[in-house]
């Protein structure tokens, strides 16, 4: 269904100039290709330094592309103006860096109104609806300064901002890595909600433990190259590449109680994970929601 493809990367590469006077070159991303469709969560996984953030930054046009093309809705993104950001937004690992500490955090929402919807009627109702969508209580966040909010609240505020823009693709780079277990589950459920609304989500992570529960397809990156990609269940059950098998070896067994595992990496408090069918078994049925269950 080609018309469903939102984002397409075709042989995308990135070379950084490094060393004194930029005399050396580092191939951070080489010949990467994949697609994100409407209503699809795609996980981009790989060890630290494998080029995930570089790809996310190229997709968001925060850094230039050295080779290949990135298209959104069939158009080369390098030709698009600011309107691109009405459709595509990013949320990053460290939400604090997206906020100016001297202004209330919800200024990120006001700026959207001033930039894109100066004459919009019913703005406060729209803000209230977007906050409700990301499960934030307006009374708890409006008027608060960034240091008065948690990392998870700030990340959800950024997602609310993306919703106000009515975006079609969200690039989420390591958004769960600094969150505690229950907030992490909230944010993952939120991604599942975005998917249900028909958004495409690129979920970047080096931690395979939880994000993969909400993803339809997985792209495995190593040293800037795709080593394998396919349906998430297939990658988890029958990883073809030894590198993927190694990445998976550090993940608690799917369906097992986290507390039973020798080295749980995802939920330090031993919270079990229950999939959509309630079995905790993601086989053949990618979870649409991750729920918290008190053991
Ligand atoms: N601005 C830059 N200038 C030079 N080299 C860079 C720059 N940004 C990243 N790199 C290098 O490019 C490679 C890929 O980095 P990148 O940040 O994309 O990795 P990553 O997969 O996101 O890693 P992590 O999981 O640690 O976030 C690394 O070797 C990194 O040192
Ligand atoms: Mg990164």
CB contact at 8 A, 287 and 188? no
pLDDT at 210: 66
Average pLDDT, the chain: 81
Name beta bridge partners: 76: 71
- Residue 91 vs residue 2, higher pLDDT: 91
The per-residue DSSP string of the chain comes to -GGGEEEEEEEEEEEEEESGGG-EEEEEEEEEEEEEETT-EEEEE-STTSSHHHHHHHHTTSS--SEEEEEETTEEGGG--TTHHHHEEEEES-GGGGS-TTS-TTHHHHHHHHHH-TT-TTHHHHHHHHHHHTT--HHHHTT--GGGS-HHHHHHHHHHHHHHTT-SEEEEESTTTTS-HHHHHHHHHHHHHHHHTT-EEEEEES-TTTGGGG-SEEEEEETTEEEEEEEHHHHHHS--SHHHHHHHHTSPPTTS-GGGSSS-SS-TT---EE-TTSSS--TTS--S--EE---
Residue nearest to atom 17 of ligand 1 (CA): 53
Q: How far apart are CA 195 and CA 126, in angstroms?
A: 20
Q: Which CATH number fits domain 2-241: 3.40.50.300, 3.40.50.720, 3.40.50.800, 3.90.226.10?
A: 3.40.50.300
The per-residue DSSP string of 196-250 comes to HTT-EEEEEES-TTTGGGG-SEEEEEETTEEEEEEEHHHHHHS--SHHHHHHHHT
Q: Which ligand is nearest to the CA of 49?
A: 1
pLDDT at 66: 97
Residue nearest to atom 1 of ligand 1 (CA): 16
Question: How far, in whole angstroms, is CA 245 from its chain's centroid?
Answer: 22
pLDDT at 293: 41
**Can you tell me the mean pLDDT for 46-61?**
94
Residue 281 has pLDDT above 90, yes or no: no
pLDDT category, 1, cuts 50, 70, 90?
low
Residue 180 has pLDDT above 70, yes or no: yes
Ligand 1 pocket at CB < 6 A: 16, 18, 26, 28, 46, 48-54, 206
Residue of 20, 24, 53 with the most ligand 1 atoms within 8 Å of its CB, for mutation:
53
- Residue 53 vs residue 183, higher pLDDT: 53
Residue nearest to atom 6 of ligand 1 (CA): 16
**Can you tell me the mean pLDDT for 232-239?**
90
CB contact at 8 A, 59 and 69? no
Query: CB-based contacts of 216: which residues, under 8 Å, 6+ apart?
Result: 40, 41, 42, 231, 232, 286
CA of 247 to the centre of ligand 1 (A): 19
CB contact at 8 A, 73 and 200? no
pLDDT at 287: 39
Share of the chain above pLDDT 70, in %: 81
CA of 109 to the centre of ligand 2 (A): 26
Q: Which ligand is nearest to the CA of 55?
A: 1
Residue nearest to atom 22 of ligand 1 (CA): 53
Residue 283 has pLDDT above 50, yes or no: no
CA of 29 to the centre of ligand 1 (A): 9
**Can you tell me the mean pLDDT for 247-270?**
48
pLDDT at 209: 63
39-48, 144-153, 157-166, 170-179: least confidently modelled range: 170-179
CA of 69 to the centre of ligand 1 (A): 20
pLDDT at 252: 57
Q: Which ligand is nearest to the CA of 173?
A: 2
Structure-block tokens of residue 129: 């609806």
Residue 121 has pLDDT above 90, yes or no: no
CB contact at 8 A, 3 and 198? no
Measured from the Cα of 51, ligand 1's closest atom is: 18
Residue 259 has pLDDT above 70, yes or no: no
Structure-block tokens of residue 114: 């001033």
- Residue 286 vs residue 27, higher pLDDT: 27
**Can you tell me the mean pLDDT for 160-169?**
88
Residue of 54, 178, 211, 221 with the most ligand 1 atoms within 8 Å of its CB, for mutation:
54
């Amino acid at each position: 269904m080609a018309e469903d493809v939102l984002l397409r990367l075709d042989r995308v590469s990135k070379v950084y100039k490094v060393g004194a006077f930029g005399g050396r070159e580092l191939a951070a991303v080489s010949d990467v290709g994949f697609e994100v469709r409407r209503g699809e969560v795609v996980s981009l996984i790989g060890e630290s330094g494998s080029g995930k953030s570089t790809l996310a930054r190229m997709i968001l046009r925060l850094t230039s592309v050295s080779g290949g093309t990135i298209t959104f809705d069939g158009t080369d993104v390098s030709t698009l103006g600011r309107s691109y950001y009405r459709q595509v937004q990013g949320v990053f690992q460290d939400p604090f860096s997206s906020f100016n500490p001297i202004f209330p955090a919800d200024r990120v929402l006001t700026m959207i109104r001033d930039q894109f919807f100066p004459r919009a009627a019913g703005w406060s109702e729209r803000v209230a609806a977007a906050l409700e969508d990301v499960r934030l209580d307006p009374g708890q966040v409006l008027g608060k300064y960034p240091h008065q909010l948690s990392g998870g609240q700030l990340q959800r505020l950024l997602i609310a901002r993306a919703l106000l823009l009515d975006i079609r693709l969200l690039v989420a780079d390591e958004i769960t890595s600094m969150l505690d277990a229950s907030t992490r589950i909230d944010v993952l459920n939120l991604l599942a909600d975005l998917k249900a609304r028909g958004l495409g989500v690129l979920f970047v992570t080096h931690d395979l433990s939880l994000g993969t529960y909400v993803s339809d397809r997985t792209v495995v990156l190593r040293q800037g190259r795709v080593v394998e990609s396919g349906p998430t269940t297939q990658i988890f059950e029958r990883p073809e590449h030894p590198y993927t098998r190694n990445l998976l070896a550090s993940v608690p067994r799917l369906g097992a109680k986290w507390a039973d595992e020798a080295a749980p990496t995802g939920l330090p408090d031993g919270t079990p994970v229950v999939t959509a069918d309630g079995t905790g078994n993601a086989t053949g049925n990618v979870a649409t929601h991750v729920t918290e269950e008190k053991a």
